Amino acid sequence: MRGVNRYVRHLRSAFSQKTHNQTDVLRRGQRQKQLVHTNSESFFIVKSDKFRSPKYLNLRALSVDAAKLCNGDYNVAGPLVEYERRIAAGELVDGDSCQVGTLRELQRLYDELVNSAEACRLDRYAVSEKSGRSRWLWSRFIPQSSYSPVKGLYLYGGVGTGKTMLMDLFFDQLPSNWRKKRIHFHDFMLNVHSRLQRHKGVADPLEVVAGEISDEAILLCLDEFMVTDVADALILNRLFGHLFSNGVILVATSNRAPDNLYEGGLQRDLFLPFISTLKERCVTHEIGSATDYRKMTSAERGFYFVGNGASTFLKQKFQQLIGKSTARPHEVEVVMGRVLQVPSGANGCAYFPFEELCNKPLGAADYFGLFKKFHTLALEGIPIFGLHNRTSAYRFVTLVDVMYENKARLLCTAEGSPHELFEKVVTISDAQQIAPRTSARSQKNDISDLCVDNELGFAKDRTISRLTEINSKEYLEQHAQLVAEKRKWQEDDNQDALQS
């Protein structure tokens, strides 16, 4: 009975959460966060002006499509149809023509998938339930290769242009009985490496892993596709070669065009075949919008503190959040038996000095483990990044990505605003445009501690954008709702346990 009760609650929660997410993710405000330095404390303050709902769509641009939909010329389902429904309901008004073009690409893919669902073997109930290892053994005797008749989609563009939101809208419209999976690229690669460990000793563990993944999901949606690790770069071509041969369809979002992936990376020549494979199996589409919607939120309650007394203020805020609970050290399970030491934590909130979380040899797996147990991170002492702490900057970028993916809350103190933290991090092309001074200061002083790094230079814009949104009113309200729902689940589970 307990299991039945939990399942019913899960269905109700999933339905309401889906409806809420699809609406809430598009209601990000139109106000620009501003960093205002006061004489005494100097921290994030925002001017609160009235705002309208975000303008994602151009009603006039879609009017022809709307007429066709009303006349039944298109399938009455899919991401573009859902957008039209929201426009008709008054939830969306004028907007971004670049996002409209992306929606049309996603609708085209949706229609192709619906029409070819049987050929693509998307229905999870109509396919064999053989395990990945047994499929691999069977393929030893009867080699099989079945590329999907439908090509995937690779979306790329600047930070905050709505790539993730659009992909999530597409994913949510897909039938629930399809073999589909939506996952962040960091999390996906961690899962791949974990599977590879389990299949050590097999002649081709990558083929086994690809078989397992394709058994679970034929449609694979990867958010924030980026390659910075040489180990990932070296296995991607063979991994996706097997996945595509098994009929997997890839939908991915990225800040980088395919040809710019892993630019300047070690042994990149071994990575180039993957780019060719990616372009062959996916339609590439750029979202050309210059608008960063994450910076158009209303930030009234951010917890990003800069200046004198910031550390004391952070500790006071942390104490308020944990309430009557007593902060103590914790251990968090990560992967393959590893644990992450949390210096202080209570009531879902963890407190870290920056050095403990970003100066030590930690990575995405550690951060995913942290946010599975804690919904709030208080981080003290984020420094200005440059050549001397480039490795820490990479870890901080990964930390923010994982935090954002898990909708966690951030409280922090820093030596400067998000823009100031990364002022010394530039791409190669940016560095070439920096003109040295000729009189008062030397060229050497001009470029002191300048970090010239293409990957980090591109990633910094995403990090600045996400730090802005993480401190916005809308983001914090969504975080509070998710925490409340999780607590309600826990209370219901406890009540079920008492009744049983």
Under the banding of pLDDT at 50, 70 and 90, the label for residue 10 is very low
Do 182 and 205 lie in one domain? The reply is yes
Do 117 and 247 lie in one domain? The reply is yes
Do 216 and 239 lie in one domain? The reply is yes
Any idea what DSSP says for residue 398?
Answer: H
CA distances from 52 to 25, 57, 291, 298 (A): 14, 14, 16, 11
Do 232 and 318 lie in one domain? The reply is no
The whole-number average pLDDT for the span 346-368 is 95
349/410 Cα distance (integer angstroms): 10
Residue 412 sits in a domain of what CATH number?
Answer: 3.40.50
Q: Is residue 141 part of a domain?
A: no
Amino acid in the structure at residue 407: K
Give the CA dihedral 121, 122, 126, 130, nearest 10 degrees. Answer: 70
Q: Is residue 394 part of a domain?
A: yes
pLDDT at 23 over 70: no
The whole-number average pLDDT for the span 160-182 is 88
Q: Is residue 454 part of a domain?
A: yes
**Strand 339-346, strand 349-353: pairing:** antiparallel
Residue 279 sits in a domain of what CATH number?
Answer: 3.40.50.300
- Of 231, 257, 286, the last residue of a domain is 286
**Higher pLDDT pick, 494 / 436:** 494
The reported pLDDT for the residue numbered 294 is: 52
Any idea what DSSP says for residue 116?
Answer: T
Q: Is residue 52 part of a domain?
A: no
Do 310 and 246 lie in one domain? The reply is no
Give the CA dihedral 482, 484, 485, 489, nearest 10 degrees. Answer: 140
SS3 305: strand
**Strand 339-346, strand 328-333: pairing:** antiparallel
Under the banding of pLDDT at 50, 70 and 90, the label for residue 444 is very low
Q: Is residue 212 part of a domain?
A: yes
Average pLDDT over the chain, rounded to an integer: 78
Q: Is residue 371 part of a domain?
A: yes
User: How do residues 369-390 score in pLDDT, each as one tens digit?
Assistant: 999 999 999 999 999 999 999 9
The reported pLDDT for the residue numbered 17 is: 46
Helix (H) or strand (E) holding 425: strand 425-426
Q: Is residue 35 part of a domain?
A: no
Do 232 and 304 lie in one domain? The reply is no
Do 275 and 307 lie in one domain? The reply is no
Number of neighbours of residue 325 by Cβ within 10 angstroms: 13
SS3 364: helix
Query: Which domain covers residue 89, as residue numbers?
Result: 79-122+146-286
User: How do residues 199-243 score in pLDDT, each as one tens digit?
Assistant: 988 999 999 999 999 999 999 999 989 898 888 999 999 999 999
Side-chain half-sphere CA neighbours of 132 within 13 A: 22
Query: DSSP E strands: which ranges in 255-397?
Result: 282-287, 304-306, 328-333, 339-346, 349-353, 376-382
Under the banding of pLDDT at 50, 70 and 90, the label for residue 329 is very high
Under the banding of pLDDT at 50, 70 and 90, the label for residue 57 is very low
- Of 286, 312, 339, the last residue of a domain is 286
For 217-234, give the DSSP string: -SEEEEES-----HHHHH
User: How do residues 261-302 score in pLDDT, each as one tens digit?
Assistant: 998 888 899 999 999 999 999 999 998 765 555 555 554 456
**Higher pLDDT pick, 496 / 395:** 395
The reported pLDDT for the residue numbered 248 is: 97
pLDDT at 315 over 70: yes
The reported pLDDT for the residue numbered 33 is: 34
Any idea what DSSP says for residue 174?
Answer: S
Our count of domains for the chain comes to 2
pLDDT at 319 over 70: yes
Number of neighbours of residue 128 by Cβ within 10 angstroms: 10
Nearest to 382 by CA among 271, 457, 463, 316: 463
Do 319 and 194 lie in one domain? The reply is no
pLDDT at 12 over 70: no
The reported pLDDT for the residue numbered 340 is: 95
30/226 Cα distance (integer angstroms): 28
Do 180 and 325 lie in one domain? The reply is no
Do 360 and 211 lie in one domain? The reply is no
- Of 231, 251, 286, the last residue of a domain is 286
Do 280 and 310 lie in one domain? The reply is no
Q: Is residue 155 part of a domain?
A: yes
Helix (H) or strand (E) holding 434: none
Place of tokens 């330095």: 37
Do 207 and 340 lie in one domain? The reply is no
